[in-house]
Amino acid sequence: MKTTSKIFFAICLLTFIIQSNIYAQGCVAIRSTGGLCSMDEHPDSLAPQGSWLFNSNSRYFKSFRHFIGKQEQFQRVALGTNVINHSYTQDLTLTRNFNNRWSLALDVPIIYNERSSLYEHGGAQRQSTYAFGIGDVSLTGYVWIFDPKKVHKGNVQLGLGLKLPTGNDNVQSYFYNVGPGGSKRLGPVDQSIQLGDGGTGIITEANAYYNFNHQFGLYGMFYYLISPTDVNGISTARGGTPSATAIAVTSDVMSVPDQALVRIGGSIAVDHFDFSAGIRYEAQPVHDLIGGSDGFRRPGRIFSGEPGVTFRTKKVSLYAIVPIAIIRDRTQSEPDLRTTQLTGVATHGDAAFADYAVNIGVSFKF
């Protein structure tokens, strides 16, 4: 394989690591999307017609630092009142290359989430809730804009697909010390650890690369999930009765939000290794492009540095990528704004974020 092919393969592997979701790094619930670059070699070494690419990616993060806007709430950790989320996602992605330009990818996320807190369990003792199962499956088609037989140094790939509501959006667990005499109560877990959002989404994606020479190249990626569904109707009261204020501002049920991801960076090839570095931007917008923005959501954004390394053989590649949070910002949601208008008291909810996320994976060509 040519050195330029190696660079391009590394770029393709990088674009597998959209999740976030999988998730963003914390209570800002950006779900696994399984986005990828569907072509595993440089266009001057065309993908065989009818070839396959399989990728398995493992992602873990621990969110525990609370932010209101960009201001960290240091007292939460100091006092032990912070929420702690542990999130594990195994993304299995299978890509069919029909020819050197067209491909189709199926992504299936398997998720285990655990959330511990005081406030959800009466405030006196830290307890945990859990969610495990299949997340929202996605199916995306891709096409290279320029003919790879004629354009060799750079190209742009567009993707369009569907995110299906296959993940359970009403996972329930027990909340303790919330009933008479400190009894437990069964109810829907927090939105940040639900397996799905309950809505069908439209996936839009663009991947691009440019190679300056045989050792150095640049990559870029844009991903946006359009979620036309307004709310999924799942209660946020954890098995209890929502307050009149929550009902008035629509935060009594969970929202189905849009998601956004942008990544840019560079890659250097050295023998069988590709070393990469870039910037990653993840966001859950306050308002959706299509449909309403009612219901409870924790909108926010994260800017991260994204170092990575890939080791390649002819058919198998191993990689590790670790986005490290630089800026974390929990923005005001629509219910926050409505509560401010209704009560006359400025309202701005918080969210817990991680310091970093760990992505490790393996890719097979066959």
Torsion angle of C-alpha atoms 111, 114, 120, 126, degrees rounded to 10: 180
Residues near 102 by Cβ (< 8 Å), separated by ≥ 6? 141, 142, 143
Show the tokens assigned to 69.
């806007």
Q: Largest alpha-carbon pair distance within the chain? A: 74
Q: What is the mean pLDDT of residues 22-49?
A: 46
- pLDDT digits 0-9 by tens, 125-147: 999 999 999 999 999 999 999 98
For residue 69, give the CATH number of its domain: 2.40.128.130
Q: What is the mean pLDDT of residues 47-69?
A: 90
Cα separation of the two ends of the chain: 15
Q: Which of the two residues, 84 and 4, has the higher pLDDT score?
A: 84
- Exposed, middle or buried by CB within 10 Å (0-12, 13-18, 19+), for 180? exposed
Show the tokens assigned to 350.
């918080």
Residues near 293 by Cβ (< 8 Å), separated by ≥ 6? 230, 255, 257, 286, 287, 334
Identify the pLDDT of residue 47.
58
> Are 135 and 89 spatial neighbours (Cβ–Cβ below 8 Å)?
yes
Q: How many angstroms from the chain centroid is the CA of residue 361?
A: 16
Show the tokens assigned to 165.
């509501």
Identify the pLDDT of residue 181.
80
Identify the pLDDT of residue 270.
93
- pLDDT digits 0-9 by tens, 88-118: 999 999 999 998 899 999 999 999 999 999 9
Identify the pLDDT of residue 143.
96
Cα–Cα dist 9/14, whole Å: 9
Closest among 124, 254, 282, 107 to 193, alpha carbons compared: 254
Number of domains comprising the chain: 1
Identify the pLDDT of residue 48.
62
> Are 115 and 190 spatial neighbours (Cβ–Cβ below 8 Å)?
yes
Confidence of residue 214 (pLDDT cuts 50, 70, 90): confident
H/E stretch holding 342:
helix 334-343
Q: Which of the two residues, 16 and 237, has the higher pLDDT score?
A: 237
Cα–Cα dist 360/174, whole Å: 32
Full domain range(s) for residue 181: 3-365
Identify the pLDDT of residue 100.
86
- pLDDT digits 0-9 by tens, 217-270: 999 999 999 999 999 999 999 999 999 999 999 999 999 999 999 999 999 999
Point out the least confidently predicted range of 19-23, 153-157, 196-200, 319-323.
19-23
Cα–Cα dist 214/68, whole Å: 45
Identify the pLDDT of residue 42.
37
Cα–Cα dist 206/320, whole Å: 22
Judged against a pLDDT cut of 90, whether residue 45 lies above it is answered with no
Rounded mean pLDDT of the chain?
89
